[in-house]
A and B are shown apart, each in its own frame.
Chain A
Amino acid sequence: MPERKIRVLVAKPGLDGHDRGAKVVARALRDAGMEVIYTGLRQTPDMIVESALQEDVDVVGLSILSGAHMALLPIIAQKLKEADMAHVLIVAGGIIPDEDIAALKEAGIDAVFNPGTPTQEIVNFITTHVATE
């Protein structure tokens, strides 16, 4: 009877304090009918993985503008796998140079959305790629 809602954790790993992009995306996902758990700034990989587990999300969205993406994002992907959350879709956004994207995908990040991406594109990616039971 009830539709299955897509649950998304939106988090900002690392130390930069710029959360406008994360909030814009959170709002767009809400308007697309998703339930968005917003955790706020300065999250460690362990905090993000534990929140994703407790909230049983389908998607983890990571916004990072500090330049530490190569250090932080692969760790988060790895820890999600170790926590039996390999099915979770991981998407990232922020300031991520094109030459890093291939390595991030190799490390388990499913998509990288750079500045200027229409929010609808993110919504579409999530709705087509979330594993349905």
Chain B
Amino acid sequence: MTLAEQVLQNRRRAIARLITYIENEHPAAQAELATLFPHTGRAHLVGVTGAPGTGKSSLVNELAKGIRATGKTVAIIAVDPTSPFSGGAILGDRIRMRELAGDRGVFIRSMASRGSLGGLARGVYDAINVFDAAGFDMVLIETVGVGQGEVDIARTAHTVLVVEAPGLGDDIQAIKAGILEIADIFVVNKADKPGANKTAAALRAMLDLGNPTGGQMLHHGVLLSVAATPPSPAPPSDWDYPILKTTATAGDGVDTLIETIFRHHHHLTQSGKLADRNRARLAADLENRLQTELLRRLLARTPNGTLSEIIGKLVKRTLSPYNAVHLLLEE
């Protein structure tokens, strides 16, 4: 029986082996994945991202426990960074997920980023398809601890959770571009720590700047009323971008978060946005694959030494990078 056939029967050994093939770009992987592809597209893909130390792994553990309690099966892909120096990695996300051990409805796979800079690993896309085809109802994808710009998860998942923790930055951080723009649901984790309400308020204020509503406020002791700004030309989003507070280590707030994740999926389905997102993620995936393959083919047909010769000219400034590209493409 082929690996793909075994994956379709949810055989755990085959799932694990095929993901290894994907990571190592084993020649057999593509054919197996092609067999699986028609069986994908059913799982709800949920991304969990945020700065290092905000509690992503602990939260994923609690989410998986809670989602299992609803009867759904869960696969987890946890990405940790590869060392840029040795190429090795320490993948420590399982430490926080020990409570999930022994449950056949859960499958956890740790992946090293292996040089990808967008917060995921190159193999994540295909690994998702393996879990999807194996019949898992939900795939939770935990990114590496990210800064502000690693937003690959936005074109990978249906529902993106951005996890914040108190004390990480002021309210200008909250209106910067990047990671905060990709959230469907904001989570302020470690809500038992001082400053959690302030962090939630800063996120709320950031969202309200984009869609000002009317209200009353105290200004130097005087109660002022502010009218809502007229509606902007773009129709207001009908998703409310909830900001939820959790304490993952105690399980507080996790039930509400799970209800909200399900509500978001329902919203995507009802509004037709799920189809849009699926189309966008397949388009992004195709573009990625084309880039990789075109580069591979170009380098394969470039004669040995040509590349290093061109780089030598760049160093001496006798050739510009712009002309170098043309030269290589027309070689």
Contact = CB atoms under 8 A, between A and B. Distances in A.
Interface string B78-118: 00001100111111101100100110000111101010000
Contacts, number: 86
B25 A55 contact: no
Nearest to A2: B25
- Secondary structure of the B contact surface, majority rule: mixed
Contact of A38 (B17, B94, B101): B94
Contact of B25 (A1, A43, A83): A1
Interface in A71-115: 83-85
A84 B98 CA distance: 23
A26 B110 CA distance: 15
Given A29-B88, A30-B86, A35 B112 contact: yes
Contacts of A43: 98
Contacts of B95: 38-40
A4 interface: yes
B142 interface: no
Contact of B102 (A7, A31, A47): A47
B17 A30 contact: no
B12 A38 contact: no
Interface residues of A, number: 33
B216 to A, nearest CB: 51
Contacts of B109: 54-55
A106 B23 CA distance: 34
Given A5-B23, A53-B13, A54-B107, A33 B87 contact: yes
B17 A56 contact: yes
Contact of A33 (B15, B17, B88): B88
Contacts of A26: 90
8 contacts: A2-B25, A3-B87, A29-B88, A33-B86, A35-B88, A38-B91, A38-B94, A53-B16
Given A7-B20, A46-B102, 5 more contacts: A1-B25, A5-B23, A31-B88, A40-B98, A56-B16
Q: Which 10 A-B pairs have the closest CB atoms?
A: A30-B88, A40-B95, A56-B16, A47-B101, A33-B87, A56-B20, A33-B88, A37-B91, A35-B89, A38-B92
Interface of A: 1-5, 7, 26-27, 29-40, 43-44, 46-47, 50-51, 53-56, 83-85
